[in-house]
Amino acid sequence: MPVVLALLYVLCHGVVVAFWPGPAGEGSFVFLTAAPVLAALACLWRARRDRAALGWRATALALLLWAGGMAVNMADAIGAGRADLTPRVSLLLYVIYGVPLVFILARARRERWTISTIDGLMAALLGVLFFVHTLSFADRINVDDTAMANMRRMFDIQNLCIAAFACVRWLAGDVPERRSFFRALALYALLYLGVAYYINHFTAEQSFGAYNDLLIDVPFLLLAVLALRQAPAPGGVLHPRLSRLVQAGGPMILPLLLLVVGALVVDHARPLALAGFVVATLGFSLRSTLLQIDLLEAQARLDQLARQDGLTGVANRRQFDAALTSEWNRARRSGTEVGLLLVDIDHFKAFNDQHGHPAGDRCLQAVAAVLQATANRAADTVARYGGEEFAVIVPGTSVEGVLALAERLRVAVQALQLPEGRVSISVGVGFAHPPVMATAEQLLAHADAGLYAAKRGGRNQVAALPSGPMGFSFAR
């Protein structure tokens, strides 16, 4: 249906051109202004339903700017504008039409608002510099035969850059919604590039109101159709490393363009050119610093997640293994003691089956919090060993101290009041002067044997098995 409506739009435009030409092409101007407006509305509609909403909104803004330029052209054609101002306003709108597009093409995904603000400022200054440079040609059209050709070339470069960057972002897209957006933008930009080149270079002597105007509708109607269709973008994706390279290199677009355009205007707008150089340098440096901060914070979060159990917040099994090895090696070097407690929640499976998994998760979290609060020395490590089992590493403490801590853990958990009732734990104790045992795995085996003995003895108790010359036996 959108395709049929687009064809009907072009047909109606052709009928108006044929039967209502007018001295200034007023009827054609209406269609030329309405086409980008309709495309902008389609983009805004898509933005409400798409994860690439910012891209669609930026594109809608660009289209509305272009429509404003055409509306000013219409006012000038019918004599409603000012000869000294209207052409400049129209030129400004056509130039800054590219600003939102360059902004979204240079933007990496998921950036903080401060970085987006910096990019927005650089894009806005780029538009101003480009306008000043293009205006320098427009002001010399009547006295310089090459001025018009140079102005057309500047618009060709603008359109070519937008089309090229859009194609690269499309090919490098790895998120379906963003890939679909950049595909739509790339197809639109390529078609707009071709149409604008033909209109500017081969029909420039013709006024508006001719059949050539129908070509101008086509890119906007194509974009509207693509925005209204929510099919995923077809085709393969670049190698992941190349895709990441494009994502990382995208933010360089704005400062590089600022430097290039600043160099072009340095002869006739030196202060603006200097501003472009400064903003390009400081803007890119500042956004890189902010991005580095974000990366460091993200790395810290990932490091924490790699060491922390996601449900209970205590150390996970990987961190437990590393901590046990570290404490064991330290104890061997210094000749000090190291204790290990294995804790199991009694009858947890029955509790989970009776009250449900959410209640089971809350039970695990509550028990972990009690263990963490009770074994609160900086040197102690509380970890989730697996399932309903926890482990507590207790370095630099005597046998009596380890056993006393195990008993405090048992009493604290028994006193814990859950909405579903009370729970208890069984604790197995392992203890050693490292020279007596060859490896940390032996200490873990002794603690596991103690836990098994506690369960076999009736649960809700602390137990440790004899361990040769350094052994002991304890149960309660």
Active site (catalytic) residues: 388
DSSP β-ladder status, 389-395 and 338-345: antiparallel
Q: How far apart are CA 129 and CA 352, in angstroms?
A: 67
DSSP β-ladder status, 425-432 and 338-345: antiparallel
Cα atoms found within 13 Å of the Cα of residue 303, Cβ hemisphere only: 6
Q: How far apart are CA 227 and CA 328, in angstroms?
A: 62
Chain centre to alpha carbon of residue 419: 40
Cα atoms found within 13 Å of the Cα of residue 45, Cβ hemisphere only: 14
- Contact criterion met (CB below 8 Å) for 97 and 71: no
Give 290-299's long-range contacts (Cβ < 8 A, gap of 24+): 290/112, 290/114, 290/115, 290/118, 291/111, 291/115, 291/251, 294/111, 294/112
Question: Largest alpha-carbon pair distance within the chain?
Answer: 111
Q: How far apart are CA 465 and CA 118, in angstroms?
A: 66
Residue of 254, 269, 32, 33 lying closest to 133 (CA atoms): 269
